Amino acid sequence: MFDGQSILITGGTGSFGTRFVRRALDDTRAERVIVFSRDECKQHQMREAFGPATNPRLRWFIGDVRDRERLYRALDGVDVVIHAAAMKQVPSCEYNPLEAVKTNVLGASNLIDAAIDRRVGRVLALSTDKACNPVNLYGATKLCADKLFVAANCYSGEHGTTFSLIRYGNVFGSRGSVVPKFVEIARRAEQTVFPVTHPGMTRFWLSLDDAVTHVLWALTVGQGGDTYVPRMRSSTMRDLTTAIDPNAEIHLTGLRPGEKMHETIIPADETCHVVEYSDHFTIMAPDREFRPTDDGSLCDGDWAYTSENAEKMSVDDLQGLLHGAFPREECFA
């Protein structure tokens, strides 16, 4: 589907962006893969890691989604955009709320305008479980951005740009998340002590490769205004710590501001628009009517998809993700 096309990914030097770019170069015949990000140091490190052999197809754009004019320049001749740029650290967003709004909300608005005016064909934005019934600013800004992307389909008009979303949970081992923090604690300490908010807290997990696979799939099927939610499994924090170091002690810290015990990825009040398939759910655009299919059915009302009621991962499953995300010598399971 990408033959001869130009793909741009915002936030392209992040954990997801780096893996997506590698897959796009290896598995597609895209003419150009453009990394758009604001950190020149990370771009330099990424160029060094990818090597000169990929340079004929790989492009680098220093820029910030807050900068509308820079986006207009970057999207010239682009066919597909994956929007992964965001402020995502919950405590950082709580402490710097206006900065989160500028990046996550105004940045989304800038991208929408630039994509429409530059006649980009498809835009897929990465959502998050934190956007469902948000209790923190990060989730609230992502919910607002989600609404902007859905509504953008109503005014792209003759320009023909379609906007869709994919929503998933925590990517196992992504930079700045709890898993690499715990792995580092286990690697350095003689007696591991993990700071845990609550042992019964649950979170959705998926591997980085699975996240990229889901995004590539969503780009092939995406209809404007739809949100795609892959089926995922979850685990408790207790099982996560056991997978990393079964002999570790746990120091209970209590929930931080803006944290939930369990994450929701499809809230009950959206169920009337949800179509269930064997491997994913589709939250339809509000103006789209469901037409029965062989493998999809409209969900019943008063149901929510949460990390509490999702299929649980075993400790062995978590250790498999652990060994896939980190060098084997860094794993302590």
CA separation, residue 306 to residues 89, 202, 233, 234, 277 (Å): 21, 9, 10, 9, 17
Say if CB 151 and CB 125 are below 8 A apart. Answer: no
Beta strands in 3-104 (DSSP E): 6-10, 32-37, 58-62, 80-83
Is-catalytic flag, 142? Answer: no
Say if CB 286 and CB 225 are below 8 A apart. Answer: yes
**What distance in Å separates the CA atoms of residue 18 and residue 129, rounded to the nearest whole number?**
22
**What distance in Å separates the CA atoms of residue 81 and residue 222, rounded to the nearest whole number?**
13
- Which residue carries 């350095």 as its tokens? 188
Catalytic residue among 88, 102, 130, 147, which?
Answer: 130
Say if CB 119 and CB 112 are below 8 A apart. Answer: no
Say if CB 167 and CB 133 are below 8 A apart. Answer: no
Q: What is the DSSP string of 192-226?
A: -EEEES-TT-EEEEE-HHHHHHHHHHHHHH--TT-
Q: Is 174 left (phi over 0), alpha (psi -120 to 50) or beta?
A: beta
CB count within 10 Å of CB 159 equals 13
Helix, strand, coil abundance in the chain, percent, nearest 5: 40, 20, 40
Tell the burial category of 296 from Cβ atoms under 10 Å away from its Cβ (0-12, 13-18, 19+): middle
Q: First CA to last CA across the chain, in angstroms?
A: 41
Residues marked active site are found at: 130
